[in-house]
Structure 1
């Protein structure tokens, strides 16, 4: 019985060898990246640059746009009580974009309302510029990465047909084998572009949300400053 089983086990292997069927190979990510060619190097650099900018800006924007509950109410109460220095110190200790805007606004109390409003707008624009720092690079990456991928694919296709012209051998295997490798750069470029594009707009949404909140808080603050003036005029 044992002697009969041994040849039976070898029959499947010999049959597969006779038919010439090779075992199925799985594509590994590292192998795909390596087959993409030299274009994958700048695409990889753009990928890591996009991730760095997205995460760095996300944590900065989240920290700088944080507003403690009751912050504006506390500032308004101090101003109404005449504690201007305390209000200014309270705003400075916040160490956020909102705190710096209100610190400058409180420091201008006594000037005409229009000047205080202009100060809020100017400082607000400066703070928005700080929040949006380096975000423009995400837009550049979103545009460049897909184009680099297409350049890699086109150059690879040119190389494939050049080799075919030299060897005078048109084979589907040769064309398909080289083409799928060169399409890797297009896929990688598109992925990096989508990541940069999505990150840019998500960060921009965070900044816009902060801008709306700042405008609402500034309106409430200016309204408090105008009430004493209106009461004096009524008398």
Structure 2
């Protein structure tokens, strides 16, 4: 009796070990392999993801550099203008190497003309800088709409695959259904992730550009106030 119980225990242990080993082996799938089980539409979604990261990195460094506001820039320009040294004022604006420096430089170069003309010239310069900052941001907005759509198409593809498999095999089994289901879930999830990244970056960059526009408007106002001083030194 004891011998029979021992055999049963060994059999149960082996069966349990086999199940556990099978479960472990089933889980030994890399993330990359799992993602690419999402079907064909994972490829364009992955390409959109890489391009999204490229645009985010490129725009981040460009906007961070050009939108930098030096609080001392207007003050330094004012000192040189009050001293009647337009050349040094232009040099200070150039050395800033920022969008605000470029805008103020355009204002300095038009000193002596009507105030409305100076303001218009500076506004045009600011619009040019804003346009440069907004380059490729439209791509992020487009990706935010395209990526989830591609994921949805992958979902439809997975559903079609399920019904096609059932029509060919006439076997409504969990295997036939799950194969198409995980494919569509992977592609849909990937598309949504890429869309969220692009959408978030698009609005964050636009928010940073809006903050720059507000700051440059304040600097333009300060500059106009400087050249309108009644002492005539900056005229």
Q: TM-score, normalised by structure 1?
A: 0.88
Matched, 1:15 2:12: no
Q: Give 1:16 shift.
A: 3.0
Could you tell me which residue of structure 2 aligns to residue 103 of structure 1? 105
Q: TM-score, normalised by structure 2?
A: 0.88
Taking the TM superposition and a 5 Å limit, the aligned residue runs for 1:27-46 are 28-46=30-48
1:228 corresponds, among 212, 223, 230, to: 230
| 4+ aligned runs moved over 6 Å, structure 1 | 6-9, 17-21
Gaps of 5+ in 2: 1-5
Identify if the C-alpha distance between structure 1 residues 20 and 105 changes in structure 2 by more than 3 Å, giving closer, same or farther: closer
Q: What is the count of residue pairs matched by the alignment? A: 228
Q: Give 1:174 shift.
A: 2.0
Q: Give 1:173 shift.
A: 3.2
Could you tell me which residue of structure 1 aligns to residue 205 of structure 2? 203
Gaps of 5+ in 1: 1-5
Identify if the C-alpha distance between structure 1 residues 171 and 20 changes in structure 2 by more than 3 Å, giving closer, same or farther: farther
Retained in 2: the 8 A contact 1:32–1:181?
A: no
Root mean square deviation, CA, Å: 2.6
Retained in 1: the 8 A contact 2:154–2:183?
A: no
Q: Give 1:19 shift.
A: 8.3
Could you tell me which residue of structure 2 aligns to residue 185 of structure 1? 187
Retained in 1: the 8 A contact 2:162–2:179?
A: no
Q: Give 1:54 shift.
A: 0.7
Identify if the C-alpha distance between structure 1 residues 16 and 88 changes in structure 2 by more than 3 Å, giving closer, same or farther: same
CA distance in 1, matches of 2:218, 2:22: 69
2:82 corresponds, among 80, 83, 88, to: 80
